[in-house]
Amino acid sequence: MSPETPVPAAAPHGDNKGVLRVVQLYPRDMNIYGDWGNALVLQQRIRWHGYTPELLEYNVGDPFPDGVDIIVGGGGQDSGQLVIQDDLQARAGTLKDLAEADTPMLVICGLYQLFGRFFKTRTGSVIPGIGILDVETHGTDERLIGNVKVATPEFGEVLGYENHSGQTTLGSGVRPLGTVAKGTGNNSSDGHEGARYRNIVASYLHGSLLPKNPAIADFLISKAAERKFGSFEPGTPDDRFVGPAREHAARRPR
C-alpha cells in the first residue's frame, strides 16, 4: 500500500439494529448500465447504518418474496422489457399493494416506464404498464444521452447519466423528482426529471444513481427502517469520496 493515509474500506459491521430486506426486480432482464450499483449501495449503506441487509433477486417466474422492505429495479433493453412484461402484469397487484403501503422503491429507466400507465412505441403499439405511477411514456426516434444535473427539493442536486428514447410525461398523481439543470430528463419539453409518489423514487438516471447521490439511498433506507422498526437510527457512513466524485462529475461535459 502507498504510505499516504490508507482508507478503511468499510465501516465495522458490528451493530445490529435489525434486518432490512431489499428485493431487486428482474436483475436478469432489467439490469443495464450498471443498475446493479444501486442494489450494492443499498446493501452496503444498510450495513454502514448498523442494520443487516438481505439482498434478494426476483426474476420472471420466481415466487415473490415476503417481508419486502425496499424494492429496486433498473433499466433494460426493449427485448428485456418484452421478456418481463407478462410476469410484471401478474405481479401488478402485489407491487401496487406494497407501493400504497409506503414501501420505499427505486425504479430506474425501463422499470420507471413500466411502473407508469403505458408505453406507446413509435409504431403505435401500446405496452401496458402497471399503473402505480401516474405517468405515460411515448417512444421517439430521438435518443437522449448524456450527463444530467437535476435540482431537487428533497435530495439537493442529483447527478446521473441518461440514455433513453422514451419520453415520459407526468400526470397530476405524481410530482417530479426535480428540475433539469443540465441534460434532458423525462422529455424534451417540460424540464422535469423523474417522478415522486409516496416512498417511490423514479428516475431515468443511471450512473449508477445511488453511489453519487447517497441522500436518495439514505431516504429509502430511513423509510424502510421507520416502517419496520418505528424509527431510523442513522450510522456514520464514510462518504469521503462522495463530495469530490460529485464535483468532478458535475464539471464533465454533457
Told to check if 14 binds other proteins by CB under 8 A, we report no
Distance between CA atoms of residues 65 and 142, nearest Å = 38
| Residue 185 in the binding site for other proteins (CB under 8 A) | no
Give the 3-state DSSP-derived string for 175-215, with helices as H, strands as E and coil as C: ECCEEEEECCCCCCCCCEECEEECCEEEECCECCHHHHCHH
Give helix 36-48 / helix 214-229 axis angle, nearest 10°: 60
Which amino acid does the sequence have at 55? L
> In the numeric block, which cell numbers belong to residue 175?
410530482
Least distance between other proteins and beta carbon 111 (Å): 15
**Contact residue for other proteins among 37, 50, 116, 178 (CB under 8 A):** 37
* Cell digits of residue 152: 431537487
Binding mask 52-91 for other proteins (x = CB under 8 A): -----x-x-----------------xxx------------
How crowded is the C-beta side of 26, counted as CA atoms within 13 Å? 26
Given the rule CB under 8 A, which of 84-92, 125-133, 142-150, 193-201 is the region that contacts other proteins? 142-150
Q: Which of 49, 109, 164, 192 is catalytic?
A: 109
Q: What is the grid cell recorded at 189?
A: 419539453
Active site residue 248: no
State the cell numbers at 114: 413500466
Closer by beta carbon to other proteins, 26 or else 155: 26
**Residue 23 CB coordination number (10 Å):** 23
Q: CA-CA distance, 99 to 130, in Å (whole number)?
A: 11
Q: Could you say whether residue 92 binds other proteins (CB under 8 A)?
A: no
- Report d(CA 116, CA 202) in Å as an integer: 10
Q: Is 143 annotated as a binding residue?
A: yes
Minimum CB distance to other proteins smaller for 57 or for 226: 57
Range 159-178, binding other proteins (CB under 8 A): 161, 163, 165
Upstream peptide bond of 165 is cis (omega within 30 degrees of 0): no
Could you tell me if 113 and 80 are in contact, meaning their C-beta atoms sit under 8 angstroms apart?
no
Per this entry, what is the length of the chain? 254
Q: With binding defined as CB under 8 A, does residue 34 bind other proteins?
A: yes
Asked whether position 218 contacts other proteins by CB under 8 A, the answer is: no
Residue 109 falls in the annotated catalytic set? yes
CB of 68 to other proteins, least distance (A): 17
- Provide the annotated binding site for substrate: 143
**Residue ranges binding other proteins (CB under 8 A):** 1-4, 6-10, 27-28, 31-37, 40-41, 44, 57, 59, 77-79, 143, 145-147, 161, 163, 165, 206-208, 211-212, 238, 241-242, 244-245, 247-249, 252-253
- Provide the annotated active-site residues: 109, 206
